[in-house]
Amino acid sequence: MTRRKALKLTSLTTAACAIALKPNPAIAQAAAASPSGPFKVPPLPYSYDALEPHIDAKTMEIHHDKHHAAYVTNLNKAIADAPDLANKPIETILKDLNSVPEKVRTAVRNQGGGHYNHTLFWQMMKKDGGEPSGDLAKALDKSFGSFSGFKEKLTEAATKVFGSGWAWLVLDGSDLKIQSTPNQDSPISQGTKPLLGLDVWEHAYYLKYQNRRPDYIKAWFNVINWDFVADRYRNH
Ligand SMILES: [Fe+2]
């Protein structure tokens, strides 16, 4: 390379750096709107379309990338006013909401609950879910008469949630129970351990099922990750 060419290259490189380093007002604004913080949105453990045709790819994309992300953004905003919470796992915080400073308690309950519930929800689903087996299947039979009996009870609870909320299979001590929670309240704030949760907020199904929540519930039973549920049951 001649000296003249080298100088030209250097000057082009410098110009490129100058452009790259110049603050971009649009990016700065976006960063301000989505403050970083201790809580992060975990990646989906499968592709957006993995649960088709039961749950459509667009719903999964918006649900995960927009709704879950908004809970995390707003949780981080709330935590900025209560920095002592920043190093605690969200599960620990939700188990003892009374110890959360009052000024941020409602925000942590709603946004933190949304973050925790959805983090579980993604893992509770997978392609070709099948049916439970082993000790969990026996426990479901014992508590609900049969697997069909369990499905009926969870379906009933999910159908009856008024407005937005969740229906759950939980462990209460060593007993399996069906529970429902309004909004983003989480069973762990009420002393039970969620094993399986069904999100019946309209954002979970409206694009594909519109007002037909019962059709969404029926379809969702095809994509339950029973291995994940069984792990949570085994480790109680
Ligand atoms: Fe949701």
36 falls in which pLDDT band (50, 70, 90)? confident
Burial 2-36 (b: 16+ CB within 10 A, else e): eeeeeeeeeeeeeeeeeeeeeeeeeeeeeeeeeee
**Cα→Cα distances 100→71, 80, 96, 178, Å:** 17, 13, 7, 27
Q: How far is the CA of 28 from the centre of ligand 1 (A)?
A: 29
At 40-62, the pLDDT tens digits run: 999 999 999 999 999 999 999 99
27 falls in which pLDDT band (50, 70, 90)? very low
Q: Which residue has the tokens 């060419």?
A: 5
Above 50 in pLDDT, residue 86?
Answer: yes
Above 50 in pLDDT, residue 13?
Answer: no
Looking at the DSSP assignment, which residues form a beta bridge with residue 205? none
Q: How far is the CA of 123 from the centre of ligand 1 (A)?
A: 13
Rounded Cα distance, 187 and 210, in Å:
27
Q: How far is the CA of 184 from the centre of ligand 1 (A)?
A: 9
Q: Within a 10 A sphere around the Cβ of 174, how many other Cβ atoms?
A: 7
Domains parsed from the chain with CATH numbers:
134-234 (3.55.40.20)
Rounded mean pLDDT, 120-139: 96
∠ Cα 127 130 136 (to 5°): 120
Q: How far is the CA of 114 from the centre of ligand 1 (A)?
A: 7
29 falls in which pLDDT band (50, 70, 90)? very low
Q: How far is the CA of 228 from the centre of ligand 1 (A)?
A: 19
Q: How far is the CA of 183 from the centre of ligand 1 (A)?
A: 10
* Predicted pLDDT at 232: 97
**Cα→Cα distances 103→33, 37, 79, 92, 113, Å:** 21, 19, 10, 18, 17
Q: How far is the CA of 142 from the centre of ligand 1 (A)?
A: 30
* Predicted pLDDT at 146: 97
What ranges in the chain are assigned the alpha helix state H?
3-21, 25-33, 57-62, 69-79, 90-95, 102-107, 113-123, 134-144, 147-160, 206-209, 213-220, 226-234
Q: Which residue has the tokens 């549920």?
A: 229
Q: How far is the CA of 111 from the centre of ligand 1 (A)?
A: 11
Q: pLDDT > 70: what percent of the chain? A: 85
Query: Average pLDDT, whole number, for the chain?
Result: 88
* Predicted pLDDT at 177: 98
Q: How far is the CA of 13 from the centre of ligand 1 (A)?
A: 47
At 147-179, the pLDDT tens digits run: 999 999 999 999 999 999 999 999 999 999 999
Q: How far is the CA of 91 from the centre of ligand 1 (A)?
A: 18
What is the pTM for the complete model shown? 0.84
If DSSP codes are grouped into helix, strand and coil, which group holds residue 152?
helix
Q: How far is the CA of 67 from the centre of ligand 1 (A)?
A: 7
What residues sit around ligand 1, an ion, with C-beta below 5 angstroms?
Answer: 199, 201, 204
Q: How far is the CA of 202 from the centre of ligand 1 (A)?
A: 8
Tokens of 230: 């069984």
Question: Of 231, 235, 228, 233, which Cα lies nearest the Cα of 124?
Answer: 228
Q: How far is the CA of 5 from the centre of ligand 1 (A)?
A: 58
Q: How far is the CA of 12 from the centre of ligand 1 (A)?
A: 49
Q: How far is the CA of 54 from the centre of ligand 1 (A)?
A: 16
If DSSP codes are grouped into helix, strand and coil, which group holds residue 175?
strand
